[in-house]
Structure 1
């Protein structure tokens, strides 16, 4: 549930950033042309070249800053950060009681590509205490980094399960909770 709220808050922050950027860029495009652009004082060590004046109708590129919440950290695969697989306990461990199985990471990436849309990891590796808290079995594959719980927004969990099985993953479906448990058997 903690990851669910974390995902929601990330999406809310991203939406707010996009909204603010749209308002800012819209304000730039309708600003009167007579408004002077303030010039910075030239540096003593090296004078800066004059700013380029865009032609009428040209758009000045203002890239958004990197989102430190969504894009910082090592990547597990093309679409997933390693942090998405970390134990979400309340500080009982350092987040990595075991390494994630590279084969699982690859299969989850393949699953994401099957649907060509985001897949949300709700649980990756777990420490024993967190596993007990969520009702995991004693020898859960989560404890050794060989399992993940996930869902694909807008896609029925039985379709996600069928695609995961086709990729060779072991699957336990939780239709009442709208997620699937996927695992690599070792």
Structure 2
């Protein structure tokens, strides 16, 4: 539980720093020219699946929100730490670490660099925080959360995420345009993004 609160606190501080930076830059009149008007179109090699998409266990019957609906995912309450190695311009490596209760050292596998780059591109596209709810997982943590035996999380090729205030299906469409494999979870309003290897 301590690791959970530590991760949450790190994410909140990072979100606040990003928000302050955006407000500051906007106030000074800086234009962020590298942000595209719409999701970049992937090249032909990026859109070809590199392997089959893993089977997803059937979700428990629940009332599914309509497409475009947004569950108000709360931002983490505790402050987010901003020290440690960065995965990309907006994400600390710790945001991708296994969030188990100490079964592993947090890194049972290394995160795939291409996945990190594409999630950073997704963050830049929406120009607002993306919250990583699950990155790499050890086998025990994967079993706890009901992950499939061959989950891409086990090898660092997947991350579950959401963008506060943005419908999950819009996040999924942008992620697919960037060349990510996506499984949508409409009942929980998040997306599983992966790189096939």
Q: TM-score, normalised by structure 2?
A: 0.62
Once the two structures are superposed, the pairs formed by residues 24-103 of structure 1 within 5 Å of their partners are 69-103=80-114
Query: How far apart are the structure 1 equivalents of 2:129 and 2:172?
Result: 15
Go from structure 1 to structure 2 and tell me whether the alpha carbon gap of 1:9 and 1:145 turns closer, same or farther (over 3 Å shift).
Answer: closer
What is the root-mean-square deviation in Å for CA atoms of aligned residues?
2.4
Structure 1 stretches of 5 or more lacking a match? Answer: 16-67
Task: Determine helix, strand or coil for the equivalent of 1:7.
Answer: helix
Q: Provide, for residues 149-174 of structure 1, a one-character-per-residue CA deviation record: whole Å limited to 9, x for no partner.
A: 00000000000000000000000000
Instruction: Establish whether residue 136 from structure 1 lines up as the match of residue 147 from structure 2.
Output: yes
Instruction: Establish whether residue 182 from structure 1 lines up as the match of residue 193 from structure 2.
Output: yes
Which of the pair has the greater relative contact order for Cα pairs under 8 Å at 6+ separation?
2
Tell me the residue number matched to 2:174: 163
Tell me the residue number matched to 1:173: 184
Point out the structure with max Rg over C-alpha.
1
Tell me the residue number matched to 1:11: 12
Question: Does structure 1 conserve the Cα–Cα contact (< 8 Å) formed by 2:9 and 2:81?
Answer: no
Go from structure 1 to structure 2 and tell me whether the alpha carbon gap of 1:156 and 1:3 turns closer, same or farther (over 3 Å shift).
Answer: farther
Size of the aligned set, in residue pairs, is: 133
Correspondent of 1:124 among 115, 135, 151: 135
Task: Determine helix, strand or coil for the equivalent of 2:81.
Answer: helix
Tell me the residue number matched to 1:104: 115
Q: TM-score, normalised by structure 1?
A: 0.66
Query: How far apart are the structure 1 equivalents of 2:193 and 2:123?
Result: 13
Structure 2 stretches of 5 or more lacking a match? Answer: 17-78
Query: How far apart are the structure 2 equivalents of 1:111 and 1:151?
Result: 11
Q: Provide, for residues 35-92 of structure 1, a one-character-per-residue CA deviation record: whole Å limited to 9, x for no partner.
A: xxxxxxxxxxxxxxxxxxxxxxxxxxxxxxxxx9421000000000000000000000
Runs of 4+ off more than 6 Å: none
Query: How far apart are the structure 2 equivalents of 1:81 and 1:150?
Result: 14
Question: Does structure 2 conserve the Cα–Cα contact (< 8 Å) formed by 1:4 and 1:122?
Answer: no
Instruction: Establish whether residue 113 from structure 1 lines up as the match of residue 114 from structure 2.
Output: no
